[in-house]
Amino acid sequence: MNPRLLFWIPAMLRLAFILAGGAIVGAMFGAVYGAMLALAAVTILLFVQLSYLSKLGEWLEDPHSSRLPDGWGSWTGIFSRLYRLRRDDERNQAELTEWLARFRQAMHLLPDGVAIMDDVLFLEWCNPAAEQHLGLTLDKDKGMRITNLIRHPAFIDYIILGRYEQPLTLALRERKLICQIIPFENRRQILVTHDATETQRIEEMRRDFIANASHELRTPLTVIVGFLEIASSEPGLDAATRAAHLKLMTEQGRRMQRLIEDMLTLSRLESVDYPLRPERVDMAAMMSAIADEARALSAGKHTVTSDVSGPDVTGSAEELRSAFGNLASNAVRYTPAGGTIDLRWQQGPDGPQFVARDSGIGIEQIHIARLTERFYRVDKSRSRETQGTGLGLAIVKHVLLRHRGQLAICSEAGKGSTFTVSLPQSMALEKSRDGIIAA
């Protein structure tokens, strides 16, 4: 039924009932009594209405659905409708609060920065990533103009030109940021920031690597091509010169071969398609082979000692051999004749350790942090003279990353170096009494 009728029909009936009551009493006991009764009934009715009105007023001060008073007469319908409205409202509000909490949490976790500004670029809100990227503090900077907060000239130009369809790359607070403004709702703008420092670093590394690798390969190739040109332009070369040229070409060819092999090893170690295949590694046998190789490389110019007291391990024998072999070969190559090289496999405080100690040329502190970078050399000519590729320690680093190992370098220029590889204790294997290996 029409709600208006629902209200008026009972109200009119109630009034009609009072008037009829008054008329009956008036007919029976006189008009004065009838009028008094009708007046008393109307007063009571008015008082009841006023009391419900006051209850409604009180409830509106704190309109919670659970505290809504019960009604009488027309008030029953009004209160029940108010109850339904309030309950729906509360449900919507709860949903909104939950949604807002979820949105806030998502924005907190988002690695990209998001800042919302009004049409005249006054900051309204930003997430923690934006605070970090742009050096903002929401509580302090809210309501400030964004160009007063980010005073980078390129950013100000970006705002002035208003070409927001293109992102802007900004070097800000030692970060490379990709920023873009996205207008929305006609009166608001979102500033999105993405930290591209790591991506750019990797891109730079890739570019450097290609440049270095090309340079490293070009040098021996130039030598080989040079000798080949001499051989073809001067057919009458004497046998001794020809032999000397061939020897040099072979050396340069081998250098290229070593370089390519090391580059392939590195790319294999970095490849996700080349998972680690752990196997039991006989450390005594490996250490003996590494020491023999070091002695062969030294050709009797150094005293090479080796000691094995640590356990066998589980890991990639080929990769560990390559890492430890590189450290042993470096010890020989960077130690002048007459020096000592000590190779050890031992149990360290937190796991098994490989130690290569030499009494060689040592390394100045400023170089130590960069030694595992590809093609980083302290002394280029010495590295080349001793057949170095500049990739040995990068290979060591990647092998250790795959084995969760750590490399510690302790060195003093002119006094020698100690390279210590620590492997996790979980890699160590113990020999049980019946000779079966157990982890």
Rg of the chain over Cα atoms, rounded to whole angstroms, equals 43
- Residue closer to ligand ADP by CB (options 193, 383) is 383
Chain centre to alpha carbon of residue 358: 39
Q: In angstroms, what is the minimal distance from the CB of 259 to ligand ADP? A: 10
Alpha-carbon span 212 to 250, nearest angstrom = 22
Q: In angstroms, what is the minimal distance from the CB of 387 to ligand ADP? A: 8
- Residue closer to ligand ADP by CB (options 352, 360) is 360
Beta-strand (E) ranges in 323-372?
A: 340-347, 352-358
- Residue closer to ligand ADP by CB (options 117, 391) is 391
Q: In angstroms, what is the minimal distance from the CB of 382 to ligand ADP? A: 7
Q: In angstroms, what is the minimal distance from the CB of 339 to ligand ADP? A: 10
Q: In angstroms, what is the minimal distance from the CB of 225 to ligand ADP? A: 24
129 Cβ neighbours under 8 A, 6+ residues apart = 110, 111, 112, 113, 114, 193, 195
Alpha-carbon span 126 to 115, nearest angstrom = 4
Alpha-carbon span 408 to 334, nearest angstrom = 17
- Residue closer to ligand ADP by CB (options 113, 362) is 362
Q: Inter-axis angle of helices 317-333 and 392-403, to 10 degrees? A: 150
- Residue closer to ligand ADP by CB (options 168, 355) is 355
Q: In angstroms, what is the minimal distance from the CB of 343 to ligand ADP? A: 12
Q: In angstroms, what is the minimal distance from the CB of 288 to ligand ADP? A: 21
Alpha-carbon span 316 to 403, nearest angstrom = 8
Site residues for ligand ADP per CB under 6 A = 326, 330-331, 334, 358, 360-363, 371, 376-379, 383, 388-394, 417
Q: Which two tokens stand for residue 4?
A: 């208006």
Q: Inter-axis angle of helices 197-233 and 239-270, to 10 degrees? A: 160
- Residue closer to ligand ADP by CB (options 315, 360) is 360
Instruction: Determine the length of the chain.
Output: 439
Q: Inter-axis angle of helices 3-29 and 31-61, to 10 degrees? A: 150
Residue type at 334 in one-letter notation:
Y
Find residue 412's DSSP bridge partners.
Answer: 416
Alpha-carbon span 333 to 44, nearest angstrom = 112
Q: In angstroms, what is the minimal distance from the CB of 326 to ligand ADP? A: 6
